[in-house]
Amino acid sequence: MTDVTTQAQPAESTGRAAGLERAEVALRFDSWVRTLVEWARIPSVSADPAHHGDVAASAEFFADALRSIGFPEVEVLGQGPYLPAVLARWPSGDPDAVRVVVYGHHDVQPADGEDRWTHPPFDPVVVDGVLHGRGVSDDKGNIALHLIGLQAHLAATGRTAPAVDLTLLVEGEEESGSPHIDELLALLAPRLDADVIVVSDTGIFAADTPSLCIGMRGLVSGELHVSGPTVDLHSGSFGGAVPNPLAELARLVAALHDEHGHVTVPGFYDGVDEPTAQERAATAALSFDEAGWLAGPAASRETWGEAGYSTLERIGARPTAEVNGIIGGYTGPGGKTIIPTDGHAKLSFRLVGRQDPAAVQRRVSEFFTELARNGVQVEMRWEGGGVAPLTTQLDHPATRAAQRALGAAFDTDRVLLTREGGSGPEADLVAALRAPMVFLGVMTSEDQIHAPNERAPLVLLQRGAEAVAHLWSELAALGRGGLSSDADRKAVANGG
C-alpha cells in the first residue's frame, strides 16, 4: 500500500449520525489495540524463509481472534504451495443477504535497516496517540478493523449475526507478490460466492481528507542478470580489455528511461490510457502540499518522473520502471581491484489501465537482450506472472455505499474518490469471484508503509472501525437486488 491519487467526487449524504457504532467502537477500542499489538509482535515476513514459521503463527493468532468474537467458521489453510491463510465465515441467517468477501493479508514487509527505526519494529508501542511497528498499518491494522467493526455493528444493530453473509480471506503471501493466489482461489472457489468484494489494504488521501480508492496499479518484478568472465579478473591485467558486467548492468538499467523520465521499452505504454481532462482537473483540485510531501513521507530532495504529469498523476495514474537494488562485485571494507564475474539488478514495473503483465515482461526481456553488447550474457528472470492493474466501477452502488460508510465515520458528506500507487492481487480476485470490488482502508502516505517507522494513528484506526460497522448496514440496506450498477441495468434493458 502506498500513495493515493486522482478523481475527486462528493459522496451522497449519509443521512445518519455515527451514533451507536461510534460508541460501541470506543467501548472496545483499548482492548482491540492490545490485540493488534500482540498480533504485530509476530514477525510474519513472508519474503524470508526463516520467518515462515512466524507467518504460520500469525495465521493462528488471527484465527483465534476471529473465534473469540464469535465467528462460527474459522479455518487456517496451510496445506498447499501457499503460506498459511485464514478463511472465516459468518452467515447472516437471511437467505437473501448480500454476500461479502473481505480480502486482506497478515504477512508483512521485512524490517531491514533496524538502526533507522525509532522503536523496535516487532515491539509495537503507542506514543502520543500513534501505534508504531511493522504491520500496524499494512496490513494487520487495516484487516483487524474487521474484528472491532463487526462487534460494533452487531451491538449497534442488536443482531446476533451480521446483516450480510460475511467471509474473510486473509492470505500470507501478499508482500511476496501473492505467487500462489490463483491456486488458493481455485481451491476456495466453491466457498467464495460474492455479490461484492471488500479489500482492506488501501488508504485515504490524508487524515483530514477521507477518500475511497477506486484503482490500484499492477506489478511485475524480477532480476536482471548480466554475466561476463567465469572468474573475477585482476583489473590491472584485464581492465579495459574485456567487458565489465557491472558497467554493462549500469548501462542497461540507465537505458530504461530517457531524459524526460519516459520508459524507453518499445510497446511499454500499450494499454495505458491518458487521464481525461476531468480526471486531471480533479487531481489538480486536491489539496496537495508537494513541499511538505517531499520533506515528510517522501523524504527526498526533489520530485522527478515522467514529463508532462503532476506528482500525484505519476504516483497513481502512470506506469513506472524502478530499480529496487543492485548486487555484484566486491562490497567489503577497503578495495579489491577486480572485474567481477556478474551483476544483478532487482527491478519492478507498476502497470496501469489495460497493460498486460505478460506482455510487459516479454517486452522488457527483449529490450535488454537486444540492447546488450557482445561479450556478456543477459537474462531477465521474472518473479511469477505479476498482477494486473484494476479500476473499480465508479457508478456501482457498492462504491457509493462505501463512501457513505466512510462519510459517517469521518463526519462528512464529501468523500473523495482516489487512485492508489500500490499493487496487489485485486484483479485476480475480481476475475475469480466475478464480483465488483470496493476498497476500505484508512492509512495515509505519512504512515511509512514498507519503510522504517511504520505507524498507525489511533484516531484513523478508530474511524476505520466505525466505517466497517457502517458498511455492513449500508450494503444490507441495498440488498442483492440493489447491487446492480447503472451499466448492468442498461445492459439488461438492451437485452445484454
Reported as a single tens digit per residue, the pLDDT across 102-126 is 999 999 999 987 789 999 999 999 9
Give tens-digit pLDDT for 341-395.
999 999 999 999 999 999 999 999 999 999 999 999 999 999 988 889 998 888 8
β-bridge pairing 320-328 and 342-351: antiparallel
Q: Which CATH number does the domain housing residue 229 bear?
A: 3.30.70.360
Residues 47 and 192 in one domain: yes
What would the mean pLDDT of 297-322 be, rounded to a whole number? 92
Q: Which CATH number does the domain housing residue 56 bear?
A: 3.40.630.10
- Cα–Cα distance, 424 to 217 (Å, whole number): 8
Any idea which of 220-229, 415-424, 466-475 has the lowest mean pLDDT?
415-424
Residues 93 and 232 in one domain: no
Residues 74 and 169 in one domain: yes
Amino acid at site 3: D
Residues 173 and 35 in one domain: yes
Instruction: Specify the pTM.
Output: 0.82
CB 395 within 8 A of CB 189: no
CA angle 261, 353, 251 (to 5 degrees): 30
Residue 248: burial class (beta carbons within 10 Å; 0-12, 13-18, 19+): buried
Between 177 and 306, the higher pLDDT residue: 306
β-bridge pairing 125-127 and 99-105: unpaired
Last residue of a domain, one of 357, 382, 407: 382
Residues 373 and 433 in one domain: no
Q: Which three cell numbers stand for residue 98?
A: 448480500
Q: Show Cβ contacts of residue 432 under 8 Å, excluding neighbours closer than 6 positions.
A: 182, 185, 186, 189, 192
Residue % of the chain over a pLDDT of 70: 94
pLDDT at 455: 96
Residue 14 pLDDT > 80: no
DSSP single-letter state for residue 289: -
Residue 490 pLDDT > 50: no
How many structural domains does the chain have? 2
Place of cell 449520525: 17
Q: Which residues pair with 328 in a beta bridge?
A: 343
Which residue range forms the structural domain that includes residue 409?
4-216+389-489
Assess if residue 26 is contained within a domain.
yes
Q: Show Cβ contacts of residue 177 under 8 Å, excluding neighbours closer than 6 positions.
A: 219, 221, 383, 384, 386, 387
Residue 236: burial class (beta carbons within 10 Å; 0-12, 13-18, 19+): exposed
Q: 283: helix, coil or strand?
A: helix
Residues 350 and 257 in one domain: yes
323, containing H or E segment: strand 320-328
pLDDT confidence bin for 12, thresholds 50/70/90 = very low
Residue 7 pLDDT > 50: no
- Closest by alpha carbon to 168, among 204, 194, 134, 186? 194
Residues 243 and 126 in one domain: no
Last residue of a domain, one of 336, 362, 382: 382
3-state secondary structure 460-490: HHHHHHHHHHHHHHHHHHHCHHHCCCHHHHH
Assess if residue 300 is contained within a domain.
no
CB 443 within 8 A of CB 418: no
186 phi-psi bin (left φ>0, alpha ψ -120 to 50, beta other)? alpha
Q: 113: helix, coil or strand?
A: coil
Residue 340 pLDDT > 80: yes
Residues 84 and 202 in one domain: yes
Last residue of a domain, one of 336, 357, 382: 382
Assess if residue 294 is contained within a domain.
no
Query: How does the average pLDDT of the chain come out, rounded?
Result: 91
Q: 355: helix, coil or strand?
A: coil
Assess if residue 302 is contained within a domain.
no
Residues 237 and 257 in one domain: yes
Residues 337 and 448 in one domain: no
Assess if residue 239 is contained within a domain.
yes
Q: Which residues pair with 222 in a beta bridge?
A: 347, 382
Place of cell 461510534: 22
β-bridge pairing 196-199 and 437-439: parallel
pLDDT confidence bin for 39, thresholds 50/70/90 = very high
Residues 172 and 263 in one domain: no
52-68 vs 140-157: helix crossing angle, rounded to 10: 10
What would the mean pLDDT of 164-185 be, rounded to a whole number? 94
- Closest by alpha carbon to 462, among 15, 28, 156, 3? 28
Within a 10 A sphere around the Cβ of 370, how many other Cβ atoms? Answer: 9
Residues 345 and 445 in one domain: no
- Closest by alpha carbon to 40, among 464, 454, 462? 454
